[in-house]
Structure 1
């Protein structure tokens, strides 16, 4: 019997674990997946959001299930959390799928967005059950993030995904693929920022190819091409 391998899915700001339903339901037979909540984006009692805390939560999710390692698949803010986990806990991260990720978020744009969010009514800002204060907290937390010095140290197989219409994240996706050793870039035609729900079949096809398809890597031996 083939050994089971695992994927942890990490959602973006304004999304929820349910956004990964298509990808989890269509994983290759040798794989199982779980989508986790991101700490700091829910109830007020969770405390402020931080990438480091969220990355630790990913590892805690593995520990709770008795998993030694997992592939991490994240979208947008979730991709940054997955990348943080790979930097901080490399021995626990078997592979990375980074969708609509960032290396160094554009600070000028974030400042403009934050200023706009502050003056808008709460009901106009809240998304996916995340209130205005939580959105601002997450935006502040990523304001000064710069993964640039860390990319060359990523040693696990990596797939970078981005929607062809996600123009704000295409440059960063190309940089991630260029600077993470052995990473592969796949552009999902016609998809925007939330490519896992906007083009779920294409997203799953690329993910599954990476995990175990004919040109991908199998649980028994990663292929870094």
Structure 2
């Protein structure tokens, strides 16, 4: 939320050996459509179902939630995942309430670059209240890289927990990194991804 595929450009530029495919989460959604996790998952699945070669998925924050949900579905061409600032259970209710209030107070023009309306973003945040992936993630066996910034205190604890829950997972904490690592430290973020690709010997699409 609050980003576009262009915000990943600096990271992608540092991945010379990867064939990347940025996915716009809100592409094709009109201002009158409903927006929740299930709908976004269907949109992502539609893109992935058109692929005919192995791939790994990478996502940050909301994107990481969608990546985890795709991993649970055990798609045969999905060979690995990279998630950062990841949540796998409903976030703290107080934090969600505060976030909801912030979105309600923000003027409509603040949402123009997101290709989504205030009503839709509030609906999407509300759907996070029902997130519950812990049990299913413990059964995921594909290689997984979990990244978090050392200063992203809201997501740091969840990232550490996730690394213990998931099989074949590794945890990378980026020093002095905040929440939006792709914007704040694209070089370090890409370095972590490249190391994962090299160590796991992935000849795949991202």
Specify the TM-score bucket, using the shorter chain as the normaliser: 0.7 to 0.9
- Residue range with higher mean Cα deviation, 20-29 or 96-105: 20-29
1:106 shift after superposition = 1.6
The partner residue of 1:109 within 88, 95, 100 is: 95
Does residue 209 of the first structure (1) align with residue 195 of the second (2)? yes
Task: Tell whether the 8 Å contact from 1:40 to 1:50 is kept in structure 2 after alignment.
Answer: no
The partner residue of 2:134 within 148, 154, 157 is: 148
| C-alpha distance in structure 2 between counterparts of 1:100 and 1:81, whole Å | 12
TM-score scaled by structure 1? Answer: 0.81
Does residue 74 of the first structure (1) align with residue 59 of the second (2)? yes
**Equivalent residue pairs, number:** 203
1:186 shift after superposition = 0.5
Match in the other structure for 2:202? 219
Match in the other structure for 2:180? 194
SS at match of 1:98: strand
Task: Tell whether the 8 Å contact from 1:158 to 1:182 is kept in structure 2 after alignment.
Answer: yes
Match in the other structure for 2:108? 122
Instruction: State the Cα RMSD in Å.
Output: 2.3
Does residue 174 of the first structure (1) align with residue 155 of the second (2)? no
Task: Tell whether the 8 Å contact from 1:126 to 1:132 is kept in structure 2 after alignment.
Answer: no
- Cα distance change on mapping 1:41 and 1:106 into 2, 3 Å: farther
1:178 shift after superposition = 1.1
The gaps in structure 2 that reach 5 residues or longer are: none
| C-alpha distance in structure 1 between counterparts of 2:54 and 2:34, whole Å | 27
Does residue 53 of the first structure (1) align with residue 39 of the second (2)? yes
Match in the other structure for 1:27? 15
Task: Tell whether the 8 Å contact from 2:137 to 2:165 is kept in structure 1 after alignment.
Answer: yes
| C-alpha distance in structure 1 between counterparts of 2:180 and 2:148, whole Å | 9
| C-alpha distance in structure 1 between counterparts of 2:120 and 2:28, whole Å | 6
- Cα distance change on mapping 1:84 and 1:41 into 2, 3 Å: farther
- Cα distance change on mapping 1:41 and 1:49 into 2, 3 Å: farther
| C-alpha distance in structure 2 between counterparts of 1:155 and 1:69, whole Å | 16
TM-score scaled by structure 2? Answer: 0.88
Match in the other structure for 2:4? 16
SS at match of 2:171: strand
1:22 shift after superposition = 2.0
| C-alpha distance in structure 2 between counterparts of 1:191 and 1:219, whole Å | 26
- Residue range with higher mean Cα deviation, 160-169 or 19-28: 19-28
SS at match of 2:19: strand
The partner residue of 1:44 within 27, 31, 36 is: 31
Task: Tell whether the 8 Å contact from 2:35 to 2:121 is kept in structure 1 after alignment.
Answer: no
| C-alpha distance in structure 2 between counterparts of 1:68 and 1:108, whole Å | 42
Higher relative contact order (CA 8 A, sep 6+): 2
